[in-house]
Structure 1
Amino acid sequence: MRRVRYEATGGPLFLEEVPVPEPAPGEVLVHCAAVGVTLPTVRKVTEAAEPVPLGGEIAGEVVAAGAGVTRFRPGDRVTGLCFGHGYADFAVLREEMASPVPEGADEVTAVALVRAGLVALGALDAARLTPGESVLVTAAASGVGHLAVQLARARGAGRVVGAVSAPDKTEFVRSLGADDCVRYGDDGWADPVDCVLDAVGGDLLAPALAALAPHGRLVAYSSGGGTIRAYDLLVGAKSVIGFQMALIARGRPELYERWRRELWRLYVEGAVRPAVHGEFALADAARAHEAITTRANLGKVVLRP
């Protein structure tokens, strides 16, 4: 089978031929029809001290199941987060990280919707959003962000603001249902909001915190790091909450499943629609990464083995 790999920090990415992996106990082997490209994986190529497997969201058909697997069997269509080599024709997936793809949905939709949508829903839950409150979503045109804008509206937000890096993204974000769209460099960003969902981190943490109204909540789910001052929390009685999906999937599978059902229900009802920026062949994985690093993507970037 084909697999994308790199040998040194910074790349380049290349295709190699390797044997099809065997699923270990608790794993399923998936024939990949779609692979989602994520910012954390892109960052690993440029930042990790040594080469790591290129994992990510995958969707496809189960072709084999390891010992102890009870929820899936060959022929089932699944999607989930692969921590091993996911940029490949075949990949292994832990059973607890997998969820079924319902009839009527294709694999590209599943990859664009499920993992990113679960992160967005989880961040909204972590923010304790109540109907009528206002929400600011950073990276609002990204794979997670564009779903967070729609899900905030579906959850009853009174005002939804998207924050983006470039003006050519504002029309896209407004088309998702955002009431307003601001750029990171704008002075004062927007009127104060009750919640901020931050997928950027780094230097953006301070202005994101400043955008909160008193008693506001900032949910940080970025791999970009960053530092804020405790005093800036104190003066406005503000809160910062960290969110990581892997902890939910492993430690609270019932909540993970509830979010998954809600996500597909909202999709069927038309309340949320995943946008796909582009579909790239495995051999074009470097171009897919470039769409992320240059912040050119509007929605999800997908590989199609």
Structure 2
Amino acid sequence: MRRVRYESTGGPLFLEEAPVPEPGPGELLLRCEAIGVTLPVVRKVTEAAEPIALGGEIAGRIMAVGSGVGRFRVGERVTGLCFGHGYADFAPVHETMASPVPDDADAVDAVALVRSGLVALGALSAARPEPDETALVTAAASGVGHLAVQLARTRGAARVVGAVSDPAKSDFVRALGADDVIVYGQDDWGASADYVLDAVGGDLLTPAVAALAPGGRLVAYSSGGGTVQAYDLIVGAKSVIGFQTARTARGEPELYERWRRELWRLHADGALKPSVHGRFALEDAAKAHAVIEGRENRGKVILVP
């Protein structure tokens, strides 16, 4: 089979021939139909001290199952998170991280909707949204962010504000349903948000906390790190909540499944529309990474073997 690999920090990425992996205990072996490209993986390629396996979101048909698998069978289609080599023709997914894909659903739509949607919906749920509140979503044009903008409205937000890195993304975010768009670097975001869903972290945490109304909540789910000053929270009785999808998938599988069903229902009803920025062949993985690195994407970036 083919897979994408690199040998030193920063790349370059290249295709190589590798043996088809055997599924381990509790694992499903998928023939990959679509692979999501994410900012955390791109960051690791450029920043990690040692090369990593290019894992992430994949969708495909189950070709083999490991010992102890009880929820899925060979031939079924699923989407899930691969912690090994996911940029490949075949890749393993643990069954606890897998969700079924409807027979009539496109694999690209499944990757764009389910994994990113689970992150967006989980972060939104962590914010404990109330009807008629104001939501602020950072990285609002990203694979997760563009779904979070739409989901905030389905959960009753009266006003949704999207924050982006480039004003050229404003029309895209407004078309998703955002009432206003702000651009990183503005001195005063002036959002008075009841909650912020933050996928960026780093230096952006300070203006994001400042944009919260008194009693507001910031949900942090980025891989970008960053520091929040305790005083900035105390004076406005604000709070910061950390969210990680994997923890829910492993610790609360029933909730994880309810979220998955809600995503497909909203998609079927037309209330949630995943956007795909581009589809790239495996051999063009470096081009897909460049789109993410350059913050060019409007929606999800996908590899299609």
* TM-score of the pair, normalised by structure 2: 0.99
How far, CA to CA, are the matches of 1:239 and 1:102 in structure 2? 38
Counterpart of 2:35 in structure 1 is: 35
| Whole-angstrom distance in 1 between the partners of 2:190 and 2:114 | 30
Preserved contact between residue 135 and residue 152 of structure 1 (Cα < 8 Å):
yes
Which residue number corresponds to residue 165 of structure 1? 165
Cα distance per residue 1:103-147 (max 9 Å; x no partner): 321100000000100011111111000111110000000000000
After superposing the two structures, state which structure 1 stretch, 180-189 or 239-248, moved more: 180-189
Match of 2:104 in 1: 104
Larger deviation: 66-75 or 157-166? 66-75
> 1:142 maps to which residue?
142
Alpha-carbon shift at residue 49 of structure 1 (Å)? 1.2
Deviation readout 1:144-201 (Å, 9 max, x if unpaired): 0000000001111110000000111000000000011110112311331100000000
Unmatched runs of 5 consecutive residues or more in structure 1 = none
- In the aligned structure 2, how far is the partner of 1:26 from the partner of 1:144? 28
Identity of aligned residues (%): 74
Distance 1:129 1:188 in 2: 24
Match status 1:116 vs 2:116 = yes
- The CA distance in 2 between the partners of 1:234 and 1:189, in whole Å, is 20
Question: Is the CA contact (8 Å cut-off) linking 1:132 and 1:158 kept in structure 2?
Answer: yes
1:35-184 correspondence to structure 2 within 5 Å: 35-184=35-184
Q: In the TM superposition, what whole-angstrom CA distance separates every residue of 1:45-83 from its partner, at most 9, and x where no partner exists?
A: 011110110001000100111111111111100000101
For 1:195-244, what per-residue CA distance to the aligned partner results, in whole angstroms no more than 9, with x for missing partners? 00000000000000000000000000000000111000000000000001
Unaligned runs of 5+ in 2: none
Using the alignment, how far apart are the partners of 1:129 and 1:184 within structure 2? Answer: 24
Q: Distance in 2 between matches of 1:68 and 1:130?
A: 41
SS at match of 1:93: strand
Aligned to 1:281: 281
2:242 matched to 1:238?
Answer: no
Structure 2 counterparts to residues 196-215 of structure 1, below 5 A: 196-215=196-215
Does the alignment pair 1:293 with 2:276?
A: no
Query: Which residue matches 2:228?
Result: 228
In the superposition, the TM-score normalised over structure 1's length comes to 0.99
Contact between 2:77 and 2:103, CA under 8 Å: does it hold in 1?
no
**Letter of the 1:73 counterpart:** R
Where has structure 1 moved over 3 Å in runs of 4 or more? Answer: none
Q: 1:185 — aligned with what?
A: 185
The CA distance in 1 between the partners of 2:52 and 2:191, in whole Å, is 42
Q: Structure 2 CA distance, aligned partners of 1:125 and 1:60?
A: 28
Render the CA deviation track for 1:225-275: whole Å, top value 9, x for unaligned: 001110000000000000011111111111111111111110111000000
CA distance in 2, matches of 1:191, 1:225: 23
CA distance in 2, matches of 1:220, 1:209: 11
- Within 2, Cα distance between the matches of 1:244 and 1:24? 24
Please tell me the residue identity of whatever aligns with 2:230: A
Q: Does structure 1 conserve the Cα–Cα contact (< 8 Å) formed by 2:136 and 2:191? A: no
Residues 1:7 and 2:15 are matched in the alignment: no
The count of residues paired between Structure 1 and Structure 2 equals 305
Cα shift readout 1:264-295 (whole Å, capped 9, x = no counterpart): 11011100000000000000000000000000
- Contact 2:56/2:83 (<8 A) preserved: yes
Mapping of 1:262-277 within 5 angstroms? Answer: 262-277=262-277
Distance 1:191 1:280 in 2: 36
Provide the C-alpha distance between the structure 2 equivalents of 1:194 and 1:105, rounded to a whole number of angstroms: 35
